[in-house]
Amino acid sequence: MEHFIVLLLYLSPVLLLVVGGLVGRSRENRHYASIHQREARFAQQPMLNSKTVPAPETVRTSKMVAGSVVVSVDRFKQFLAALRTIFGGEVNAYSSLIDRARREAILRMREQAAGADMIINVRMETSSLSQGGQKQMGTIEVLAYGTALWHRKDHEGSYAS
């Protein structure tokens, strides 16, 4: 019985990391599935980073739209990143976190612009928030913003709805 308790004490951190990694991967996969589904809904809505309005005479109305998201890293990825900083090199554990945050912020901006013919002047701001003054990243915030345009219905050009 004593050997079992000692074994359990030594294996519990490893077991927690494995379970944390599996749960984190499952949640990340579900988030990516949601992102893919929502991106398909907005595939026909043009989004430009240009400051100029194509065919400005056709614009009926415009509105500033923004989408913001704050995403935190799970403990398993934090552990992997800590290992990577010991040995040096790129920390790949955060790549999917940043990708998901950017795509989610853009989707939230597009959801605010539902029904718009296009979004122009799209910009993105990213900031990482550290935990307790430490130098490692714990959370990332992304803000996507732009100008949603609705065109006049009587316009015969390619930008009319």
Q: Tell me, what CATH number does 130's domain have? A: 3.30.110.70
CA 103, distance to chain mean position in Å, is 4
Instruction: Please check whether residue 100 lies inside any domain of the structure.
Output: yes
**Domain total of the chain:** 1
For residue 140, what are the domain limits? 2-151
For residue range 29-57, list pLDDT tens digits in order.
999 999 999 999 999 999 999 988 888 88
User: What is the rounded distance in angstroms from the CA atom of residue 123 to the CA atom of residue 67?
Assistant: 11
Instruction: Please check whether residue 8 lies inside any domain of the structure.
Output: yes
Instruction: Please check whether residue 156 lies inside any domain of the structure.
Output: no
Distances (CA, A) of 142 to 21, 73, 81, 98, 116: 24, 14, 21, 9, 22
pTM, entire model: 0.79
Instruction: Please check whether residue 58 lies inside any domain of the structure.
Output: yes
Residues 6+ apart with CB under 8 A from 127: 140, 141
Say which range, 4-18, 88-102, 107-121, 131-145, has the weakest mean pLDDT: 131-145
Instruction: Please check whether residue 32 lies inside any domain of the structure.
Output: yes
Instruction: Please check whether residue 72 lies inside any domain of the structure.
Output: yes
Instruction: Please check whether residue 158 lies inside any domain of the structure.
Output: no
User: What is the rounded distance in angstroms from the CA atom of residue 84 to the CA atom of residue 93?
Assistant: 9
Which DSSP letter does residue 92 get?
A: G
Tally the residues of the chain: 161
For residue range 74-118, list pLDDT tens digits in order.
777 777 777 777 877 777 777 888 999 999 999 999 999 999 999
Q: Is the pLDDT of residue 156 over 80?
A: no
